[in-house]
Structure 1
Amino acid sequence: MAELFIFSIAESLITKLASHAFQEASRVVGLYDHLRDLKETLSLVKAVLLDAEQKQEHNHELQEWLRQLKSVFYYAEDVIDEFECQTLRKQVLKAHGTIKDEVSHFFSSSNPLVFRSKMAQQIKDVSKRLDKVAADRHKFGLRIIDVDTRVVHRRDTSRMTHSRVSDSDVIGRENDKENIIELLMQQNPNDDDKSLSVIPIVGIGGLGKTTLAKFVFNDKRIDKCFTLKMWVCVSDDFDINQLIIKIINSANVADAPLPQQNLNMVDLEQLQNRLRNILAGQKFLLVLDDVWSDDRVKWVELRNLIQEGVAAGSKILATTRIDSIASMMGTVTSQKLQSLSPENSLSLFVKWAFKEGEDEKHPHLVNIGKEIVNKCKGVPLAVRTLGSLLFSKFETNEWEYVRDNEIWNLPQKKDDILPALKLSYDFLPSYLRQCFALFSLYPKDYIFHSFEVSRLWGALGVLASPRKNETPEDVVKQYLVELLSRSFLQDFIDGGTFYQFKIHDLVHDLALFVTKEECLLINSHIQNIPENIWHLSFAEYNFIGNSFTSKSVAVRTIMFPNGAEGANVEALLNTCVSKFKLLRVLDLSDSTCKTLSRSIGKLKHLRYFSIQNNRNIKRLPNSICKIQNLQFLNVLGCKELEALPKGLRKLISLRSLDISTKQPVLPYSEITNLISLAHLSIGSSHNMESIFGGVKFPALKTLYVADCHSLKSLPLDVTNFPELETLFVQDCVNLDLELWKDDHEEQNLNGLPQLVKLKYVAFWGLPQLVALPQWLQESANSLQTLIIKNCNNLEMLPEWLSTMTNQKALHISDCPKLISLPDNIHHLTALEHLHIRGCPELCKKCQPHVGEFWSKISHIKDVFIEEPEKLEEEEDE
Structure 2
Amino acid sequence: MDAEQQRTKKEAVKKWLNELSDLAYDAEDTLAEFEIYVEQYQVRRSIPHELKDQINFEIKKINERLEKLKNRMIVLGLERIHVEGRMSDEITKRTPTTSILDESCFYGRETDKNNIIFKLLSWDGPSDERNYGVLPIVGMGGLGKTTLAQSVYHDDERVEKHFKLRAWVCVSEEIDNAKITKAIIESATMETCSLTSLEALQGKLKKMLSGEKFLIVLDDVWNEKLEDWEELQKPFQFGEKGSRVMVTTRTERVSLNKGTLPAYHLGGLEDKYCWSLLKQRAAVDDALSNANPNLEAIGRKIVERCKGVPLAVKTLGGLLRFKVEEKDWEYVLKSEMWELKNESEGIMPALRLSFQHLPAHLKRCFAYCSIFPKDYVFDKEQLVLYWMGEGFIVGSKGGTKQMEDIGSEYFDELCFRSFFQYSGNNKSFVMHDRIHDLAQSISKNICFRVDEDDKWLRNNRNINIPNKARHLSLFATKPIDDNALDHLVKNKCSSPRTSLLLGKAIITCQVAKLGNLYDTWRYLRVLSLLNVN
Q: TM-score, structure 2 length as denominator?
A: 0.87
Pairwise CA distance, 1:375: 0.8
Alpha-carbon distance in structure 1 between the residues aligned to 2:414 and 2:347:
19
Mapping of residues 40-51 of structure 1, within 5 Å: none
Deviations along 1:417-459, whole A, 9 cap, x unmatched?
1221111111111211122112222221111112442343233
The aligned counterpart of 2:512 is: 596
Residue from 325, 329, 334 that aligns with 2:254: 325
Structure 2 contact 99–153 (Cα < 8 Å) conserved: yes
Structure 1 contact 188–312 (Cα < 8 Å) conserved: no
Deviations along 1:615-656, whole A, 9 cap, x unmatched?
3xxxxxxxxxxxxxxxxxxxxxxxxxxxxxxxxxxxxxxxxx
The aligned counterpart of 1:80 is: 31
Q: Which stretches of structure 1, 4 residues or more, deviate above 6 A after TM superposition?
A: none
Structure 1 contact 204–487 (Cα < 8 Å) conserved: yes
Structure 2 contact 137–248 (Cα < 8 Å) conserved: yes
1:234 and 2:164 are equivalent in the alignment: no
Pairwise CA distance, 1:400: 1.1
Identify unmatched segments of 5+ residues in structure 1: 1-54, 95-101, 526-537, 616-877
Alpha-carbon distance in structure 2 between the residues aligned to 1:67 and 1:277:
54
The change in CA–CA distance for 1:154 and 1:295 in structure 2 (over 3 A counts) is: farther
The aligned counterpart of 1:505 is: 433
Between the two proteins, the alignment pairs up a number of residues equal to: 519
The aligned counterpart of 2:404 is: 473
The secondary structure found in structure 2 opposite 1:244 is helix
The secondary structure found in structure 2 opposite 1:235 is coil
Alpha-carbon distance in structure 1 between the residues aligned to 2:66 and 2:297:
55
Q: TM-score, structure 1 length as denominator?
A: 0.55
The secondary structure found in structure 2 opposite 1:470 is coil
Identify unmatched segments of 5+ residues in structure 2: 1-5
Pairwise CA distance, 1:88: 4.3
| Paired letter, 1:78 | D
Residue from 471, 475, 493 that aligns with 1:557: 471
Pairwise CA distance, 1:112: 5.0
The structure that is helix-richer by fraction is 2
Alpha-carbon distance in structure 1 between the residues aligned to 2:418 and 2:488:
39
Structure 1 contact 492–500 (Cα < 8 Å) conserved: yes
1:205 and 2:141 are equivalent in the alignment: yes
Q: Please, what is the CA RMSD of the aligned residues?
A: 3.2
Residue from 414, 428, 431 that aligns with 2:361: 431
The secondary structure found in structure 2 opposite 1:159 is coil
The secondary structure found in structure 1 opposite 2:158 is helix
Alpha-carbon distance in structure 1 between the residues aligned to 2:81 and 2:321:
45
The change in CA–CA distance for 1:199 and 1:124 in structure 2 (over 3 A counts) is: same
The aligned counterpart of 2:496 is: 583
Larger RCO of the pair (alpha carbons < 8 Å, separation 6+): 2
The aligned counterpart of 2:3 is: none
The aligned counterpart of 2:418 is: 487
The aligned counterpart of 1:258 is: 192
The aligned counterpart of 1:216 is: 152
Structure 1 contact 588–612 (Cα < 8 Å) conserved: yes
The change in CA–CA distance for 1:294 and 1:610 in structure 2 (over 3 A counts) is: closer
Alpha-carbon distance in structure 1 between the residues aligned to 2:102 and 2:384:
46
Structure 2 contact 40–47 (Cα < 8 Å) conserved: no
Alpha-carbon distance in structure 1 between the residues aligned to 2:284 and 2:468:
51
The aligned counterpart of 2:264 is: 335
Pairwise CA distance, 1:554: 4.3
Structure 1 contact 191–312 (Cα < 8 Å) conserved: no
The aligned counterpart of 1:243 is: 180
Pairwise CA distance, 1:475: 2.6
1:566 and 2:481 are equivalent in the alignment: yes
The secondary structure found in structure 1 opposite 2:141 is coil
Mapping of residues 76-115 of structure 1, within 5 Å: 76-89=27-40, 94=43, 111=47, 113-115=49-51
Residue from 199, 210, 214 that aligns with 1:284: 214
Pairwise CA distance, 1:397: 1.2
The secondary structure found in structure 1 opposite 2:512 is coil
Alpha-carbon distance in structure 2 between the residues aligned to 1:451 and 1:210:
35
The aligned counterpart of 2:97 is: 161
| Paired letter, 2:200 | Q
Mapping of residues 719-758 of structure 1, within 5 Å: none
Mapping of residues 321-470 of structure 1, within 5 Å: 321-354=250-283, 356-358=285-287, 359-467=289-397, 468-470=399-401
Structure 1 contact 523–543 (Cα < 8 Å) conserved: no
Alpha-carbon distance in structure 2 between the residues aligned to 1:480 and 1:81:
26
Alpha-carbon distance in structure 2 between the residues aligned to 1:348 and 1:323:
28
Alpha-carbon distance in structure 1 between the residues aligned to 2:501 and 2:418:
32
Structure 1 contact 539–560 (Cα < 8 Å) conserved: no
The secondary structure found in structure 2 opposite 1:215 is helix
Structure 1 contact 569–593 (Cα < 8 Å) conserved: no
| Deviates further, 377-386 or 67-76 | 67-76
The change in CA–CA distance for 1:553 and 1:176 in structure 2 (over 3 A counts) is: closer
Pairwise CA distance, 1:364: 2.1
- Identity across aligned pairs (percent)? 34
| Paired letter, 1:507 | I
Structure 2 contact 251–417 (Cα < 8 Å) conserved: yes
Pairwise CA distance, 1:121: 3.8
